[in-house]
């Protein structure tokens, strides 16, 4: 937060990867030291650390995004988060998404429910696609993705994928859609928080996301209240 709404140093990572700030790098370094210091036998996968494929040989791995929503952070907006997940044999078992500017901390553990600042959260239970409140960028609504036309949702947007997933888990929105290839660190923590809040989560092919892959990317993600999830999937090509 000492860098929030300040003249923080910013670099472009190139190859269309977007910006990174001094804050991203400092958070990454701190989390690496703290988390691997406590669990030295875990693997490490982070957006801001050069990938070491030795993680593939480890049963358990940290999956981290120091700042998800870096552009929001740079622009002085509050919709950014730090996302931390622990995956064992491809399945996320523990997750935290912390939004420091909003003073929100979401967390979940497998089989133990989902929480926001200590209070249990659950999905909206929405069942109708028509006018469902869904978080998605405008690009996701292009007709190329859908049979005939996109679903008749009420579209909203937040820049952080991790925060979007948490908003669905909390029931503030009915679902979220991203159809581009999606980095594991953007969604691993939010995936478990959603599931523990009763949300159905899949990739765009209705497949179950598997984490700590050699190329750590998923075929998009759709997360929504269970009946709504089925309805959204039916619109996809």
Residues 190 and 83: beta-carbon distance below 8 Å: yes
CATH number, domain containing residue 101: 3.30.540.10
Residue 125 covered by a domain = no
Residue 30 covered by a domain = yes
183 and 99 both lie in a single domain: no
Direct distance between the N- and C-terminal alpha carbons of the chain, in angstroms, rounded to an integer: 42
pLDDT of residue 74: 93
Give the whole-angstrom CA distance, residue 166 versus residue 71: 19
pTM value? Answer: 0.96
Alpha helices in 70-212, H assignment, sequence order: 70-74, 161-170, 184-196
Residue 205 covered by a domain = yes
Structure token digits, residue 140: 């996701």
107 and 140 both lie in a single domain: no
112 and 167 both lie in a single domain: no
Residues in the chain: 237
Per-residue confidence in pLDDT tens, the chain, 237 aa: 999 999 889 988 777 778 899 999 999 999 999 999 999 999 999 999 999 999 999 999 999 999 999 999 999 999 999 999 999 999 999 999 999 999 999 999 999 999 999 999 999 999 999 999 999 999 999 999 999 899 999 999 999 999 999 999 999 999 999 999 999 999 999 999 999 999 999 999 999 999 999 999 999 999 999 999 999 999 999
- Among 89, 120, 151, give the residue marking a domain's end: 120
Structure token digits, residue 221: 């993600």
106 and 62 both lie in a single domain: yes
pLDDT of residue 152: 97
Residues 171 and 209: beta-carbon distance below 8 Å: no
pLDDT of residue 11: 86
pLDDT of residue 7: 87
Residue 127 covered by a domain = no
CATH number, domain containing residue 146: 3.40.190.80
Distances (CA, A) of 17 to 21, 146, 186, 194: 13, 26, 13, 26
Give the whole-angstrom CA distance, residue 194 versus residue 176: 11
pLDDT of residue 18: 83
Structure token digits, residue 69: 């929503």
Structural domain that includes position 76: 10-120
19 and 112 both lie in a single domain: yes
41 and 110 both lie in a single domain: yes
Residue 25 covered by a domain = yes
Residue 178 covered by a domain = yes
3-state secondary structure of 224: strand
What's the structural domain count of the chain? Answer: 2
- Phi first, then psi, for residue 232 (nearest 5°) are -65, -45
């Amino acid at each position: 937060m000492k860098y929030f709404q300040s003249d923080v140093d910013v670099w472009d990572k190139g190859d269309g990867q977007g910006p990174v700030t001094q804050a991203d790098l400092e958070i990454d370094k701190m989390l690496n030291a703290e988390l691997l210091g406590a669990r030295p036998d875990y693997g490490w996968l982070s957006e801001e650390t050069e990938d070491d494929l030795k993680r593939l040989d480890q049963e358990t791995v940290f999956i981290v995004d120091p700042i998800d929503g870096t552009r929001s952070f740079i622009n002085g907006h509050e919709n950014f988060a730090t996302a931390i997940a622990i995956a064992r044999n491809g399945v996320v078992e523990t997750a935290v998404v912390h939004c420091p500017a909003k003073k929100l901390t979401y967390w979940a553990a497998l089989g133990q429910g989902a929480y926001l600042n200590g209070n249990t959260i659950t999905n909206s239970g929405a069942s109708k696609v028509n006018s469902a409140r869904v978080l998605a960028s405008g690009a996701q609504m292009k007709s190329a993705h859908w049979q005939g036309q996109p679903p008749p949702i009420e579209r909203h947007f937040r820049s952080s994928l991790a925060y979007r997933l948490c908003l669905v888990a909390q029931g503030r929105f009915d679902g979220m859609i991203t159809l581009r290839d999606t980095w594991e660190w953007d969604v691993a923590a939010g995936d478990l928080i959603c599931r523990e809040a009763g949300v159905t989560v899949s990739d765009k092919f209705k497949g179950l996301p598997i984490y700590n892959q050699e190329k750590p990317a998923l075929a998009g993600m759709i997360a929504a209240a269970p009946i709504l999830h089925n309805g959204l999937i039916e619109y996809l090509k």
